[in-house]
Structure 1
Amino acid sequence: MARKAAATPALAPSGEASLSMLAGVGPAVAAKLAARGLLTLQDLWLHLPLRYEDRTALTRIQDLRNGVPAQVEGRVVAVERGMRFRPMLKVAVEDEGQGTLVLRFFHFRQQQVAQFAKGTRLRCFGTPKAGQFGLEIVHPSYQILGQHEEAALGDSLDPVYPAVEGIGPATLRKLIGQTLDRLPDEATLELLPAGWLDGLALPSLRSALLTVHRPPPDADLSALAAGRHPAQRRLAIEELLAHHLSLRRQRMALQAHHAPSLRGNGALVEQLRSSLPFALTGAQQRVFEQIRKDLAKAHPMLRLVQGDVGSGKTVVAALAAMLAVERGKQVALAAPTELLAEQHLNNLRGWLEPLGVRTAWLAGKVTGKARAKVLADVASGEAQVVVGTHALMQEAVVFADLALAIVDEQHRFGVHQRLALRDKGADGRSVPHQLVMTATPIPRTLAMSEYADLDVSAIDELPPGRTPVQTVALNNDRRPELIERIALACQEGRQVYWVCTLIEESEELDATPAQATFESLQALLPGVRVGLVHGRMKAAEKLATMVAFKAGQIDLLVATTVIEVGVDVPNASLMIIENAERLGLAQLHQLRGRVGRGSAVSRCVLLYQAPLSQMARERLETMRQTNDGFLIAEKDLELRGPGELLGTRQTGLAAFRMADLARDADMLPGVHALAERLLAEQPVVADRVVQRWIGSAVRFASA
Structure 2
Amino acid sequence: MTALSLVPVTALKGVGESLAGKLARLGLGTLQDLLFHLPLRYQDRTRISPMGSLYPAQDAVIEGQILSCELIQGRRRSLLIRLKDGSGTLSLRFYHFHPAQLASFKPGARLRCYGEVRTGASGLELYHPEYRLISAGEPQAAEQSLTPIYPATEGLTQQRLRQLNEQALQRLTEQSLPDLLPEPVRKRYRLMPLVEALRYLHRPPPDADLEQLAAGTHPARQRLAFEELLAHQLSLHRLRQQLRAQQATALPPSPELIERFIRNLGFSLTCAQQRVAAEIAHDLAQPLPMLRLVQGDVGAGKTVVAALAALQALAAGFQVALMAPTEILAEQHQQNFARWLKPLGLEVAWLAGKLKGKARQKALAQIAGGVPMVIGTHALFQDEVQFARLALVIIDEQHRFGVQQRLALREKGAISGFCPHQLIMTATPIPRTLAMSAYADLDTSILDELPPGRTPVNTLVLADSRRAEVIERVRAACLSGRQIYWVCTLIEQSEELSCEAAETRFSELVATLPELAIGLLHGRMKSAEKAAIMDAFKQGKLQLLVATTVIEVGVDVANASLMIIENPERLGLAQLHQLRGRIGRGSAASHCVLLYQPPLSAQGRERLAIMRETTDGFVIAEKDLELRGPGEVLGTRQTGQLQFTVADLMRDAPLLPAVREAAETLLKNHSPHESPVLERWIKRGQRYGEV
Same topology, TM > 0.5:
yes
Counterpart-to-counterpart distance in 2, 1:556 and 1:28: 61
User: C-alpha distance in 1, partners of 2:417/2:29?
Assistant: 37
Q: Does 1:679 align with 2:667?
A: yes
Say whether 1:286 aligns with 2:275.
yes
Structure 1 counterpart of 2:210:
221
- Once the two structures are TM-superposed, the CA of residue 157 in structure 1 deviates from its matched residue by 5.4
Please say if 1:639 is aligned against 2:624: no
The answer (yes or no) to whether the contact 2:640–2:688 under 8 Å persists in 1 is no
Shift of 1:121: 8.5
Q: Which of 603, 608, 617 lines up with 1:615 in the alignment?
A: 603
Unmatched runs of 5 consecutive residues or more in structure 2 = 50-54, 61-74, 80-90, 96-115, 132-141
Contact preservation (8 Å) 2:624, 2:633: no
AA aligned to 2:7 is: A
Q: Deviations over 1:314-361 (max 9, x none)?
A: 111111111111111110000011011111111100000100011100
Provide the residue aligned with 2:65 in structure 1.
none
* Conservation of the 8 A alpha-carbon contact between 1:301 and 1:435: yes
Aligned to 2:291: 302
Cα 1:216/1:539, change in 2 over 3 Å: farther
Q: How does 1:408-427 map to 2 (within 5 A)?
A: 408-427=396-415
Q: Deviations over 1:25-72 (max 9, x none)?
A: 4445545655665432222322334556789999xxxx99xxxxx878
Q: Which residue number corresponds to residue 569 of structure 1?
A: 557
Residue 515 of structure 2 corresponds to: 527
Task: Quote the Cα distance in structure 2 between the aligned partners of 1:179 and 1:464.
Answer: 64
CA distance in 2, matches of 1:477, 1:296: 58
- Greater mean deviation of Cα atoms: 591-600 or 201-210: 201-210
Q: Per the alignment, do residues 366 and 216 of structure 1 end up closer, same or farther by CA in structure 2, a change over 3 Å counting?
A: same
Aligned equivalent of 1:442 = 430
Of 366, 389, 393, 1:377 maps to: 366
Q: Is the 8 A contact 1:244 1:452 kept in 2?
A: yes
The change in CA–CA distance for 1:470 and 1:232 in structure 2 (over 3 A counts) is same
Q: Deviations over 1:480-526 (max 9, x none)?
A: 221211121222232222223317799xx9xx954554444344333
Give the structure 1 partner of residue 10 of structure 2: 20
Is residue 659 of structure 1 aligned with residue 647 of structure 2?
yes
- Whether the aligned pair in 1 keeps the contact of 2:485 and 2:544 (CA below 8 Å) is yes
Amino acid at match of 2:245: A
Unaligned stretches of 5+ residues in structure 1: 1-10, 65-69, 74-112, 125-140
2:462 alignment partner in structure 1:
474
Q: Which residue in 2 is equivalent to 1:193?
A: 182
In structure 2, the residue corresponding to 1:586 is in which secondary structure? helix
Which residue, out of 207, 232, 246, partners 2:221?
232
**Offset at residue 241 of structure 1 (A):** 0.8
Answer with 497-506 or 329-338: which moved more. Answer: 497-506
2:149 to 148, 151, 159: 159
Give the 3-state SS of the residue equivalent to 2:182 in structure 1: coil
**Which residue of 368, 374, 390 corresponds with 1:402?**
390
Contact kept? 1:264, 1:323, Cα under 8 Å:
yes
Normalised by the size of structure 1, how large is the TM-score? 0.80
Corresponding position: 1:318 with 2:307? yes
Shift of 1:652: 2.7
Query: 1:334 corresponds to which letter in structure 2?
Result: M
Q: Percent identity?
A: 58
2:689 counterpart residue number: 701
The answer to whether the 8 Å contact 2:327/2:352 transfers is yes
Q: 1:553 to 1:35 in 2, by over 3 A?
A: farther
Separation in 2, partners of 1:456, 1:218: 46
Larger Rg: 2
Helix, strand or coil for the counterpart of 2:409?
A: helix
**More divergent stretch after superposition (318-327 vs 686-695):** 686-695
| Cα offsets for 1:271-313 (capped at 9, x unmatched) | 2122211111000000010001101110100000010121111
Alignment partners' CA distance in 2, 1:667 and 1:173? 30
Match status 1:362 vs 2:351: yes
Once the two structures are superposed, residues 344-380 of structure 1 have per-residue CA deviations (whole angstroms, 9 ceiling, x without a partner) of 1111000001000111001111221121122112112
Counterpart of 2:471 in structure 1 is: 483
Task: Return the offset for 1:546.
Answer: 3.9
Residue aligned with 1:239, SS: helix
Identify if the C-alpha distance between structure 1 residues 121 and 569 changes in structure 2 by more than 3 Å, giving closer, same or farther: farther
Match of 1:135 in 2: none
* Residue type at the aligned position of 1:398: Q
Q: Distance in 1 between matches of 2:557 and 2:45?
A: 57
Select which of 34, 47, 62 maps to 1:44. 34
User: Among residues 596, 600, 609, which one is paired with 2:588 in the alignment?
Assistant: 600
- Kept after mapping to 1: 8 A contact 2:235/2:688: no
Distance in structure 1 (CA, Å) of the matches to 2:521 and 2:153 = 38
Q: Give me the CA root mean square deviation.
A: 3.6
Q: What secondary structure sits across from 1:695 in the alignment?
A: coil
Shift of residue 152, structure 1, vs aligned partner = 7.0
SS of the residue aligned with 1:501? coil
What residue number does 1:131 align with? none
Between 1:651-660 and 1:534-543, the stretch displaced more is 534-543
1:208 aligns to 2:176 (yes or no)? no
CA contact (8 A) 1:121 1:144 kept: no
Change beyond 3 A, Cα 1:50–1:583: farther
Match of 1:338 among 327, 343, 354: 327
CA distance 1:165–1:264, shift in 2 (3 Å): farther
TM-score normalised to the size of structure 2? 0.81
Which of 557, 569, 578 matches 1:590?
Answer: 578
Tell whether the 8 Å contact from 1:53 to 1:160 is kept in structure 2 after alignment: no
Aligned to 2:103: none
2:310–2:392 Cα contact (<8 Å) kept: yes
Q: Which amino acid aligns with 1:496?
A: I
Q: 1:350 to 1:475 in 2, by over 3 A?
A: same
Alignment partners' CA distance in 2, 1:387 and 1:416:
19
Deviates more, 1:446-455 or 1:497-506: 497-506
Q: Which of 275, 279, 284 does residue 264 from structure 2 map onto?
A: 275
For the 8 Å contact 1:502–1:514, the answer to whether it is kept is no
**Cα distance in 2 for residues equivalent to 1:350 and 1:49:** 59
Which has the higher mean CA deviation after the structures are superposed, 201-210 or 358-367?
A: 201-210
